[in-house]
Structure formats: C-alpha cells, structure tokens
Structure 1
Amino acid sequence: MASFSSLLAMALAISIFLSHSNAQLSSTFYSTTCPNVSSIVSTVIQQALQNDARIGASLIRLHFHDCFVNGCDGSILLDNNGTTIVSEKDAAPNNNSARGFDVVDNIKTAVENACPGVVSCADILALASESAVSLASGPSWNVLLGRRDSRTANQAGANTSIPAPFESLSNITTKFSNVGLNVNDLVALSGAHTFGRAQCRTFSNRLFNFSNTGNPDSHLKHNLLSTLQQVCPQGGSGSTVTNLDPTTPDTFDSSYFSNLQNNRGLLQSDQELFSTSGAATIAIVNSFSANQTAFFQSFVQSMINMGNISPLTGTSGEIRLNCRRPN
C-alpha cells in the first residue's frame, strides 16, 4: 500500500497539473508578443466611430452573442463555407441585425500587420468591447486575454441560447444561469443598452397588441409610446432603428436604469428588469440608477465574468488569420 507521504505527493502533483491545465486568461497575455494590441484596436474603433455612432454598441453585442454560444471563441465571426460551417450570423438573433463584422476585419488586419499570427479573433471582440465602452465615456478595465478561436460555428445553439428582447425575465435569467452568470450580471450587462440602436421588429410587439391584449404594453410611458408608434407604424419597416436610450443615446452612463424606473425601457426584456413584480432585479436597477459608480464597477466585473465563459486556451482551437474562416 502506498505510504501517506507518497499519496500526498501524488495529490499535490495532480493539483499542480490541474491548476496549469485550467489556467485561464491573463491581462498580460500579449505583453511581449503584441504589447500595443489594445491601442491598435482602439484606433480602428475611433476611426469607425467617425462614420457610425452606433458601432461601439454593435461590437459589444457581437462579443455578447459570441460568448453565449459555445463560449467566447469567435464563432460568431465565421461565414458559411457550404460544407462544415453553418454560420451563427444566419441564426435568428443575428440575421440582419448583427453588425460590425467589417470593423472586426479592419481591426484584425491592423493587428496582423503589427503582430502576425498572434492575437485571436475572440480576443479582438473582448478588446473591442472594452474600447467601445471607454470611448463612450464608460469605464475602462484590463481585459483578460488568451482566448483561441474555434474552427466551427453553432447556429442551432445561437437560435436557442441567446436571450431575446421579447422573452420573459424568467427565461432570460435561465439563459444567463446556463452560462454561469447570475442576476447581478444580467442587470449589469443589460446596462450596455445605454447606447446603440434597436430595430422596430425587436420591440414593435409592445406598441399595438401586446400579448394579444389588443392594447400597447402598459409598462411603456405614454409619450414614448406615441413617439415609437410614429417611428414604427403597424405594417412599417421592421428594420427602422431608434435609440435604446432616448436620454443619452451615444453615452455609456447609468441613464438606462433611470429610464426603466420611468417606464422608458425600449425592449420588453429591458423594462421587465424593473416592472416584474417581486423580481430580485428591481433593487439592482434602483442601486445602479442611484449610483453610476456602482453600475460601472459591476459592469466591468460582469464583462470579465462573461468573457470567461468556456474560452479555448492552450492548444485548443487556433489563431485565425482571417476572422471569417478557419485557417
């Protein structure tokens, strides 16, 4: 029988092995191989913002939709190839709404010119999200890096795992829980709707015949309802866009939460954070509305939590040279 000391040594060896094999992400991952990667990403986004004020919100949405499907692996960026890849871009939550792929291409080109074959597309999405937020007067943070890119996409997963704007709070809470995120993460990350735009088709269900009642959603401020009915008339284009935050549409701040308190949340999934009777989310909305610093701190932590969903690391996956296709 093995001695106690030999068993202890074996347990220690296993624990060291596991700690290395589970080694996750690091803010200094590219400190020697691509030390300027953050500034490269930021420069490209600054250029894009000159022509497209909503691009920052679009980029953070790509990162969100990527991480909720098989983890943060850049799979949302893959195009159909006619054989092995059925693109997530064509899934219901992304089709004709996910955008910013051209800006990701531009970032990848700039990064490849500086550091060939080093930085993953999955990490570019994480870096772009931080840059988008900080450039919109939001918080900055040290992005954890070291993800690698998947060689496959999961369209079916995108159709079922990504929270939808017309889902109940209960359903969305479950989808967050399924990827290891809690209610505080849900409210904090929803705060990204403090900038950007939404298409009429994502909230028109609230404007005229909500839940087959024959009436608009009662949790929608009357003056906002009137404006939205003009922007999105019955039978109109579902692709027309309007501001997610009518107060400060291009600034990353806490006004999103004040909007919810005043029944001015645009999406059903937004307003339900405050209007669902007895929900744990109400107190969090109140806290973030009253204290922007608390929101910023929670948002940063929740972005880090989301960025840690099942990343490919070590020798898993690859570093794609073109974000739209595997090597």
Structure 2
Amino acid sequence: MMAFLIVLLTSLLALTTLPAAESQLYTNYYQKSCPGFAQIVQDTVTNKQITNPTTAAGTLRLFFHDCLHNGCDGSILLSSTPFNKAERDADINLSLPGDAFDVVVRAKTALELACPNTVSCADILAVATRDLVTMMGGPFYNVPLGRRDGRSSNASAVEGTLPRPAMTISQLIEVFGSRGFSVQETVALSGAHTIGFSHCSEFSSAIYNYSKSAQSDPNYNPRFASGLQQACADIKKNPTLSVFNDVMTPNKFDNVYFQNLPKGLGVLKSDHALFNDAKTRPFVELYANDQNRFFRDFAKAMEKLGVLGIQTGKRGEIRHRCDESNY
C-alpha cells in the first residue's frame, strides 16, 4: 500500500511540473473521437512518400519551421490573404517543398471525411513527420496529441527565429537556445540533414570561390567541391537546382551525415561549422560513432520540439482547412 502511494504521489508531482498546455496532450487523444486517426495518417504518408520520395525530408523541415517559430500550431500551413502576408511566404520559407504541404492536406481531407471538425492540422503535421522519419529508417518516438491550430501567421515576424544555412555555430546555438534547447540537442536536431536536400543557391558562393588549393577552403573535400560545382553548374538558368545533404545514404535516416562532416562532405556552411567548432564537435563525433545514441537523443529532442509553444483547450481552433483559419 505504501509503495502504491509513493508511486501515485510521484506521478502527481510529475504532472504538476509540466507546463499547463503540455499536460493536456495525450498519445491516445483521438481514441474515441477519431479512432482511425493513426491509420489514416500512416496510409496517407506512405502513399505520398512512395510516389514522391522527397516528401519525408520536406515534411520534417516543414515541422521544424512551424515549431521553431511561434510554436507547433500549424501556422506555417496558413496561406497569405490580400490583407496579410503569411509566414509561409517569408523569404526563408519560400523553399519549403510543396509535397510537404500536400501530404498534410491529403491527410486532413481524409480525416475530415472520417471524423469532421475533430483533428487539428498541427497534430497531423506532428504525426506525419514522425511516421515519415520512422519510414526512412529513423527512430520511433511518442507524439502526444491535442494541439489546436493557431489563427495568426505573419511573415514579418519570422526573421531571426529560424536557422539559416550560413549561420555560425554561435548563431545556431542562440536560435535553438532561445527555444530551450541545449548545444547537444541542437547537434542532434541538426542530424535531420541525414535526409533531404539543399538548394545550390544556399551554398553556391562557397563552392564557386573554391580553388584546387586545400588552403583556400579547408571545409570542402576537393573532389566533393568539384562534384558540387558540376551539379550546380546551371544555377543561373535553374535556381531550383539542389543536392542531397548526405551524399552517401541520402534516402536513409542514419548517422552517416555525422560521419561525412570530418571528411569535408558537408554541403552547407552550418554543416561544416558543426565539426569545426569546439562546442559542437564532441557531439558530432559521438553521433558519428554511435547511431543508437544519435537516434535516442534525436527522438528526445523531437518530443521536446513537438510540444513547443502549443495551443490547447480553448486557445486556437480546429481548422476546417489547413490553409485558412475558420474566420
């Protein structure tokens, strides 16, 4: 009896330490109101990923851009109106891929048919991201549900809240640190670059200033830089050209991204900086040598990211459409 009381008291104390909004999230939130929720999302993302293999990386990036700016409220999904320029149209978000938006819309459409006015777009994005990461070979992690959709989205408020490809480590640490993430968590989340791609425009200035002398730019492996130059040769004619962030296993969620960095096989300035900076290099080396540790730390960081700035209860709404507020 005494042991039971101790366990009960410990559980109650744990609940009281949770933020009020976070404590209203449950992994089985839709068990009664929309029992087919998990299966509908899983079927949708599976079909989309098979048809469009870049969907997983794009959705993961979309989730990052939603949560790091103003919390995980689905505000990145809102379209601009004649009276408001939404955050999805901010300069840094213009390169977010259409397939990522589309997979959320498809899941929302199916869910509205199964259980109207029940499932938020923010929850769909969170679960779709997890399912796609797992589908690519990454870790499974819990996604508590019950987020409400935000009603506002403003492009002018985005600047400075999201990581940019050319940021220094100090700047990256500041961006993630302002959201409560440690240096190690920042490195773990950067491992999302194990899948996906970057546009040539995001790093072209570095590779085209590169010479054959190793001293001129020690960050890039010379052969790799040459390959990037060839891949991005037509950038002036085609600004949408892109390359994989992990050239070794681009379609598999693993720790090879971290193994690439000491070899000069990083694509972006921020990738190179992770290995070159003394604050982050130990974690790069840790994850390069231990994929299980990377997966465990990435999963924990994603769980933390997924409840950032959420709206629950009477705050926010359940949108009828993911691209527009109900009023």
Q: TM-score, normalized by length of structure 1?
A: 0.88
Name the structure 1 match of 2:273: 272
Name the structure 1 match of 2:242: 241
Distance 1:194 1:23 in 2: 32
Distance 2:242 2:20 in 1: 47
Name the structure 1 match of 2:305: 306
State which drifts further: 264-273 or 96-105.
96-105
Given the alignment of the two structures, is residue 256 of structure 1 paired with residue 269 of structure 2, yes or no? no
Distance 2:267 2:319 in 1: 37
Name the structure 2 match of 1:229: 229
Does the C-alpha gap of structure 1 residues 313 and 21 become closer, same or farther in structure 2, counting only changes over 3 Å?
closer
Structure 2 letter corresponding to 1:136? M
Structure 1 letter corresponding to 2:263? N
Q: Answer yes or no: is the 8 Å Cα contact 1:207–1:216 preserved in 2.
A: no
Name the structure 2 match of 1:31: 31
Pairing 1:125-274 to 2, within 5 Å after superposition: 125-209=125-209, 217-233=217-233, 235=236, 237-274=238-275
Name the structure 2 match of 1:48: 48
Name the structure 2 match of 1:3: none
Name the structure 1 match of 2:294: 295
State which drifts further: 74-83 or 200-209.
200-209
Query: Displacement, 1:96?
Result: 3.6
Structure 2 letter corresponding to 1:171? Q
Query: Displacement, 1:190?
Result: 0.8
Q: Answer yes or no: is the 8 Å Cα contact 2:58–2:96 preserved in 1.
A: no
Does the C-alpha gap of structure 1 residues 185 and 325 become closer, same or farther in structure 2, counting only changes over 3 Å?
same
> What runs of 5+ residues in structure 1 fail to find an aligned partner?
1-14
Does the C-alpha gap of structure 1 residues 190 and 22 become closer, same or farther in structure 2, counting only changes over 3 Å?
closer
Query: Displacement, 1:192?
Result: 0.9
Name the structure 2 match of 1:10: none
Does the C-alpha gap of structure 1 residues 24 and 274 become closer, same or farther in structure 2, counting only changes over 3 Å?
farther
Name the structure 2 match of 1:285: 284
Tell me the C-alpha RMSD between the 2 structures. 1.9
Distance 1:322 1:97 in 2: 19
Query: Displacement, 1:216?
Result: 6.3
Q: Answer yes or no: is the 8 Å Cα contact 2:71–2:310 preserved in 1.
A: yes
Query: Displacement, 1:325?
Result: 0.1
Query: Displacement, 1:21?
Result: 6.5
Name the structure 1 match of 2:114: 114
Query: Displacement, 1:181?
Result: 1.4
Q: Answer yes or no: is the 8 Å Cα contact 1:195–1:252 preserved in 2.
A: yes
Aligned length in residues: 305
Q: Percent identity?
A: 38
Structure 2 letter corresponding to 1:115? C
Name the structure 2 match of 1:321: 320
Does the C-alpha gap of structure 1 residues 165 and 19 become closer, same or farther in structure 2, counting only changes over 3 Å?
closer
> What runs of 5+ residues in structure 2 fail to find an aligned partner?
1-14
Structure 2 letter corresponding to 1:269? S
Q: TM-score, normalized by length of structure 2?
A: 0.88
| 1:3-33 deviation per Cα after TM superposition (whole angstroms, max 9, x unaligned) | xxxxxxxxxxxx97x9766634221222222
SS in 2 for 1:122: helix
